[in-house]
């Protein structure tokens, strides 16, 4: 397949949707059908990319696209498509129009929920990366304290409460990433991540991530103490 042609077609479809309410309704219905019924992976990926674009547009079109991304996208049966839907949702959550901004927390909660319900772990790593991205964007680009809090809570839960050691390790490393990226500018977030890593180490039931979490917490605390530029 020619990916450039596919992307051009996707852009044309999105322009058509924004130009005509009737076309928008028909296209969104088509996207839902593709995500729920199609076995063609490329078509489903295209539908998700177009929903990501349309969900950040103002008005009813953005709201309807957001609903569809949350419902059919995050709820799709294929774990690899759910993983991409999580990535799309994280982008949308920090770029919503002013009118749809109140829906952002619910979208972040949906990402957390998708990670918690993930049965084989395929989506969890992407969800953790997406929560990290949300915290960074909501701290440094378009300040949104509520999204920062939800994102941090999601990573803290993953680092402390996940049953699988590999999932706890993912949460630990993403907390470290958040502190490294955001903590240099926002001291309170660095302190929050250090505390969360220390708690994850102390509460680690099987010892699988205790050493890593404690080591990363210590490294962050040392860096913060010796670098006046932090915070």
Angle, nearest 10°, between helix axes 165-182 and 187-203?
A: 160
DSSP state of 163: S
159-212: pLDDT as tens digits? 998 888 999 999 999 999 999 999 888 999 999 999 999 999 999 989 999 999
Q: Whole-structure pTM over 0.85, yes or no?
A: yes
pLDDT at 228: 66
Q: Are 223 and 230 in contact (CB under 8 A)?
A: yes
22-48: pLDDT as tens digits? 999 999 999 999 999 999 999 999 999
Provide the pLDDT confidence category of residue 12 given band limits of 50, 70 and 90: very high
Beta strands in the chain (DSSP E): none
Half-sphere exposure of 29 (CA within 13 A, CB side): 6
Query: What's the rounded mean pLDDT across residues 2-28?
Result: 90
Q: Are 48 and 69 in contact (CB under 8 A)?
A: yes
Q: Are 93 and 107 in contact (CB under 8 A)?
A: yes
Top-confidence residue, 220 or 121: 220
d(CA 224, CA 222): 5
d(CA 116, CA 78): 16
d(CA 230, CA 219): 13
């Amino acid at each position: 397949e020619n990916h450039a042609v596919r992307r051009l077609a996707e852009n044309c479809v999105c322009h058509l949707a924004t130009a005509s309410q009737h076309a928008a309704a028909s296209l969104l219905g088509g996207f839902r059908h593709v995500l729920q019924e199609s076995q063609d992976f490329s078509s489903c990926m295209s539908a998700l990319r177009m929903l990501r674009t349309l969900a950040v547009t103002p008005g009813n079109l953005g709201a309807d696209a957001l609903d569809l991304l949350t419902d059919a996208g995050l709820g799709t049966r294929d774990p690899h498509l759910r993983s991409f839907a999580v990535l799309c949702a994280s982008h949308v959550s920090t770029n919503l129009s002013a009118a749809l901004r109140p829906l952002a927390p619910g979208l972040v909660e949906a990402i957390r929920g998708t990670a918690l319900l993930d049965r084989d772990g395929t989506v969890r790593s992407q969800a953790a990366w997406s929560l990290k991205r949300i915290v960074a964007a909501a701290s440094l680009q378009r300040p949104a304290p509520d999204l920062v809090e939800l994102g941090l809570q999601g990573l803290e839960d993953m680092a402390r409460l996940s049953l699988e050691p590999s999932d706890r390790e993912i949460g630990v490393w993403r907390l470290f990433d958040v502190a490294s990226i955001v903590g240099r500018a926002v001291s309170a977030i660095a302190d929050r991540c250090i505390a969360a890593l220390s708690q994850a180490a102390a509460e680690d039931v099987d010892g699988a991530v205790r050493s890593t979490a404690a080591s990363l917490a210590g490294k962050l605390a040392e860096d913060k103490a010796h670098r006046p530029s932090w915070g």
